[in-house]
Chain A
Amino acid sequence: MDLLANVLISAMIAATPLVFAGLGELVAERSGVLNLGVEGMMIIGAIAGFAAMLATGSAILGLFAAMAGGALMAALFGVLTLTMRANQVASGLALTMFGLGLSALWGQAYSGRSAPPFPRLYIPGLTDLPFVGKLLFGQDGLVYLSLACVAGVAYVLTRTRVGLILRAVGENHDAAHAIGYPVIGVRYLAVMFGGAMAGLGGAYLSLVQTPLWVERMTAGRGWIALALVVFAAWRPLRVLLGAYLFGGITILQLHSQALGVKIDAQLLSMVPYIATIVVLVLISRDSARARLAAPACLGKSFHASS
């Protein structure tokens, strides 16, 4: 029982950065912008959060710095693709490359240093409950924040005017523009929200999960977050489900080694990537349905004629 609870807890911890980054990318994509730079924004968030935490001694300020860092990177992407109308695929790649390089340059002074452990929730009585206690009431605050974000984004997208405008811009930017919505402005905000969330996901790695700074520590999680959005068919709740699934696979891979299953560690590490491909095939197979789920203006530049 205890082992199962531990596996579930570590799966949630492994999944949380994916929840943040995936949710942010989902919002950006619902506004019609495909930002492939998630990995770059995450790694900048990781180093910005870590540096700010060491400088101020406050993990909370570190998280804010991470969000600011991610959002700044996203703004850079916005200037390229929204203002300069550059190709979104190429710009996203440039953002990732730039982010990985800049973070290494910036983090040179921090490599090998570690952060104090991030506090976990403790409610006397509840946290001490067997099995569910630590699982439900003993996680770090960001796990709960990520769950709240999922609920918040789901609510805003489907139940509010803001969500309606965002989706209108993503589905048909010409119509949204004709009604008078500021297409470019909405997209800037959505992309920067995505950047802030990716930064938060990155800071979760460097401040909570490990907690230390290692060059290239995101190790492809930004790309998995991108795949998650497709996996989730652009629905927030399914991003959560998908992220936990991936977190579970990652942790199973670690535990199978501990349990003495004799499989090459490197072959096991391939599992999340292969699983992404399999899932991608399963959901895209039905092309009509995949096209219905994707925002109609995804990846297209907008230029108002008047």
Chain B
Amino acid sequence: MLKLEPRREPSRLMFYLTPFLAIVLTLAAGLLLFRVLGKPPVAAMQLIFVEPLRSLRGLSELLVKATPLILIACGLALGFRASIWNIGAEGQFTIGALSGGAVALAVYPATGWWLLPLMSLAGIAGGAAWAAIPALLRTRFNASEILVSLMLVYVAVLLLGSLVHGPLRDPDGMNFPESRIFQTALPLIIPGTRAHIGFVVALVVAGVAWLLLERHIIGFQIKVLGQAPRAARFGGFSDTALTWLCFLVSGGVAGLAGLFEAAGPVGQLVPALPAGYGFTAIIVAFLGRLHPAGIVLAGLLMALTYIGGETAQISMSLPSATTSVFQGMFLFFLLATDVLVKYRPRWIPARPAGAPAAPAAAKPSAPVVAARVEA
């Protein structure tokens, strides 16, 4: 039978190899899935993963979708490294778009060079404030940040819906639940497409995140808190301060991502603004190994599944949810193959039934405390 043997040192090779292994396995599983569904497998896969890369429009859309993913995932990576689970980036994204957009609507019809920076600041502040709620409840009342941040996603989405139905609705707009179109838009980086300056900002944020995580004492403290909480306590690192930092930073960038989405490709506030980037960014963070460089690559790949999903929706009438099937599979296979980083698979020939059991396979005879491996 196949047995897993702990490695003395985590394998560096496997650490970098398993994301690619996960991609290959996902593609294989995708072929199988389409086959079961009775769609031409190769054609469907080509439509999703190759077709978008063959046109300028597809490539520029890739940057549009990758922008929020990279931004949010860089923020989340901070917390995930410290085992602080902000699952509610989707809510912070929504509130960021809402507060940034509200600024534009409040000063309407005034506009100028100052408006976009002001909206961005409001977006960051909104996202950070929304993330401050789980941070406060975690540090002050010990409430699970997973559940609190997640519940707040629903609250945020409903709040956006309620406000664009009410106070923020376009007064000249036929009663549609939409705000006015903003009087300013993000500068484009590729003329004639929707690719905007936000992608450049996302790359800068990834660079800053790299400095913070790999070159700054805070990055070290975060890593210790995540991998050895006791050591962090002995080292005198404040659990509370790091939790706050991780939530405020990840909430702030998620808010900025939301504002970019509202002020960039969408151009106004609509109820359908939160499109799941906050959840997909969690996969991006893991697929990118919680490392900013990896996150940029993983963000582009996940963006591809979005665009490919849309293409498949139009030309093969597959539901848009095809995207989340692929995203779920990516994460599955990544998590599954991750076992190879810490463990070495070994083939141990099965003993014929009735043969005396080797002591290693028998029930433990002495009550030795088994080594516990924490994920």
Chain B hits for A80, CB < 8 A: 332, 335-336
| Contact between chains at B328 and A303 (CB < 8 Å) | no
- Given known pairs A80-B335, A178-B367, A215-B319, the reply for A95 and B144 (CB within 8 Å) is no
> A108-B318, A270-B154 provided; 12 other pairs, C-beta below 8 A?
A95-B328, A96-B328, A97-B283, A98-B332, A102-B328, A174-B369, A230-B147, A270-B155, A287-B142, A302-B373, A303-B373, A304-B364
Identify which of A76, A177, A277 contacts B151 (C-beta below 8 A).
Answer: A277
- The residues in A between 1 and 37 inclusive whose CB is less than 8 angstroms from any CB of B are 36
**Can you list 22 contacts pairing A with B, beta carbon distance less than 8 Å?**
A85-B343, A89-B85, A89-B146, A94-B331, A104-B320, A105-B318, A180-B364, A226-B147, A230-B144, A264-B166, A266-B162, A266-B165, A267-B158, A276-B147, A277-B143, A284-B141, A290-B142, A301-B374, A303-B6, A303-B372, A305-B368, A306-B368
Cα–Cα, bound, A289→B342 (Å): 35
Judge whether B23 is part of the interface by a CB distance below 8 angstroms.
no
- Given known pairs A84-B338, A88-B375, A178-B364, the reply for A277 and B162 (CB within 8 Å) is no
Judge whether B227 is part of the interface by a CB distance below 8 angstroms.
no
Identify which of B37, B159, B319, B371 gathers the most chain A CB atoms within 10 Å of its CB. Answer: B319
Chain A hits for B260, CB < 8 A: none
| Contact between chains at B154 and A284 (CB < 8 Å) | no
Chain A min CB distance to B141 (Å):
5
| Contact between chains at A98 and B335 (CB < 8 Å) | no
Cα–Cα, bound, A95→B282 (Å): 13
Judge whether B49 is part of the interface by a CB distance below 8 angstroms.
no
| Contact between chains at B159 and A270 (CB < 8 Å) | yes
Taking beta carbons and an 8 Å cutoff, which residues of A are in contact with B?
Answer: 36, 40, 76, 79-81, 84-91, 93-105, 108, 173-175, 177-180, 215, 220, 223, 226-227, 230, 264, 266-267, 269-270, 273-274, 276-277, 280-281, 284-285, 287, 290, 300-306
| Contact between chains at A101 and B323 (CB < 8 Å) | yes
Chain A hits for B329, CB < 8 A: 98
| Contact between chains at A93 and B282 (CB < 8 Å) | yes
Closest to A104 in B: B321
B-side interface mostly = helix
Identify which of B161, B336, B372 contacts A302 (C-beta below 8 A).
Answer: B372
Cα–Cα, bound, A163→B324 (Å): 37
Chain A hits for B146, CB < 8 A: 36, 89
Identify which of A76, A85, A227, A305 contacts B370 (C-beta below 8 A).
Answer: A305
Closest to B161 in A: A266
Judge whether B21 is part of the interface by a CB distance below 8 angstroms.
no
What are the nearest 8 A-B pairs in CB distance? A98-B328, A104-B321, A101-B324, A101-B325, A86-B335, A94-B331, A266-B162, A97-B328
Identify which of B37, B144, B151, B325 contacts A98 (C-beta below 8 A).
Answer: B325
Cα–Cα, bound, A33→B331 (Å): 19
Interface flags, B338-349, vs A, CB<8A=1, else 0: 110011000000
Chain A hits for B283, CB < 8 A: 94, 97
Chain A hits for B375, CB < 8 A: 81, 85-88, 300-301
Chain B hits for A103, CB < 8 A: 321
Cα–Cα, bound, A266→B168 (Å): 15
Judge whether B360 is part of the interface by a CB distance below 8 angstroms.
yes
Chain A hits for B152, CB < 8 A: 273, 277
Cα–Cα, bound, A73→B84 (Å): 26
| Contact between chains at B328 and A177 (CB < 8 Å) | no
Cα–Cα, bound, A108→B39 (Å): 13
Closest to B321 in A: A104
Chain A hits for B321, CB < 8 A: 100-105, 215
Chain A hits for B363, CB < 8 A: 180
Cα–Cα, bound, A88→B162 (Å): 35
Closest to B326 in A: A101
- Given known pairs A102-B325, A266-B161, the reply for A86 and B373 (CB within 8 Å) is no
| Contact between chains at A174 and B339 (CB < 8 Å) | no
| Contact between chains at A285 and B327 (CB < 8 Å) | no
Judge whether B137 is part of the interface by a CB distance below 8 angstroms.
yes
Chain B hits for A227, CB < 8 A: 147, 151
- The residues in B between 4 and 52 inclusive whose CB is less than 8 angstroms from any CB of A are 4, 6, 33, 37
| Contact between chains at A220 and B154 (CB < 8 Å) | yes
